[in-house]
Copies of this chain bind each other. A is one copy, B any other.
Amino acid sequence: MLKIAGVQFVGQADKEANIRTAARLVRQAAAQGARMVCLPELFSTMYFCVETRREYFAWAEPIPGPTIERMVALARETGIVLIAPIFERAPDGRFFNTAAVIGPDGALIGKYRKSSIPFMDASRSSEPRGNEKFYFSPGDLGFPTFETPFGRIGILICYDRHFTEAARVLGLGGAEIVFVPTATTFMTRYLWDLELRAHAVVNIYYVCGVNKVGVDVGGSARNHFGNSMVINPRGEILAQASDAKEDIAIAEVDLTVIPELRTLWGYYRDRRPDQYGPLLDAVAPPASRAAA
């Protein structure tokens, strides 16, 4: 059996403080037996995307780069697979919301760049909302899966989780566990379990959702709800972290149930790729009659 964990903590404007907190919690999860650990979205910064300030671009780093090098050392020290999401500055001058995947030997196995980038109208809510299109280009790496010594994993970052196409591509790519580093607020609380559980059951893999928690120190009033969780392919929540404070969601997963459940249900046998063409059409949906 394999133990996996998501660690959540309150973000700070001070990058060094975030890195130290993350390292402490990763060591704690590893001491509890976790062999794969995922950090929240943009773990090394607070969730800065509410504001549109050019100086925040200075927080971006290359991958590999100083923060990821420290995560490489941490993964090697603890012998785990570490999923470390940061603000990435690409060599070509673009910026991405990216998760690095690091092996227990310290190898950089790969990275995933957030594919769908939100921009929510703050006037619709009293809650501070993310203007991520100011910072991030939409990811250009597709939806890769990563072979690790402990299992094949995929990643969806925050808003990506609302896109069932992305979740399915990961299943088709053989993902056994999908990690979902996130920075989301109480406005979406009612969707959190529902969407993550649905991805798990229809694609037949484990899901580990990892959310930021609380209000960033030195940031916006945005309040993240935590509730990091591990879900099995039957949609059952195996572990769930606090909705208010630093915490670890850790659970044992049994990857051998996946092929069994996949042949039981037949979903991968009975898909109809010949009929899914409209999913690739770059057209807007027709206006609904209600809008007309």
Chain A residues within CB distance 8 Å of chain B: 115-121, 124, 138-139, 142-143, 147, 151-152, 159, 162-169, 171-174, 176, 190-191, 194-195, 197-198, 201-202, 234-235, 255-259, 264-268, 270-291
Nearest first, the 8 A-B pairs at minimum CB distance are: A198-B198, A164-B164, A259-B291, A255-B290, A174-B286, A116-B270, A256-B290, A165-B276
Complex contact A198–B190 (CB within 8 A): no
**20 more A-B contacts (CB under 8 A) besides A138-B272, A166-B272?**
A142-B278, A147-B289, A162-B202, A163-B270, A164-B164, A164-B198, A165-B165, A165-B168, A165-B271, A169-B275, A172-B279, A190-B234, A191-B235, A197-B198, A256-B290, A258-B290, A268-B284, A273-B279, A274-B280, A274-B282
| Closest chain B CB from A3 CB (angstroms) | 16
Q: Determine which of B119, B256, B273 lies in contact with A280 in the assembled complex, contact meaning CB atoms within 8 Å.
A: B273
Q: Which residue of B lies closest to A265 (CB)?
A: B162
Copies of this protein chain in the complex: 2
Cβ of A275 and Cβ of B167 under 8 Å apart?
A: no
Inside 8 A of A283's CB, which chain B residues have their CB?
A: 172
Complex CA gap A266/B162 in Å reads 10
Q: Quick one: given A163-B272, A273-B280, A279-B172, are A289 and B194 in contact (CB under 8 Å)?
A: no
Question: How far is A181 from B282 in the complex, measured between Cα atoms in Å?
Answer: 30
A142 surroundings in chain B (CB, below 8 A): 275, 277-278
The interface residues of chain B lying within 8 Å CB-to-CB of A290 are 151, 176, 255-259
A89 to chain B, nearest CB (A): 22
In the complex, A190→B233 CA distance in Å? Answer: 12
When chains A and B are docked, how far (Å) is the Cα of A93 from the Cα of B162? 41
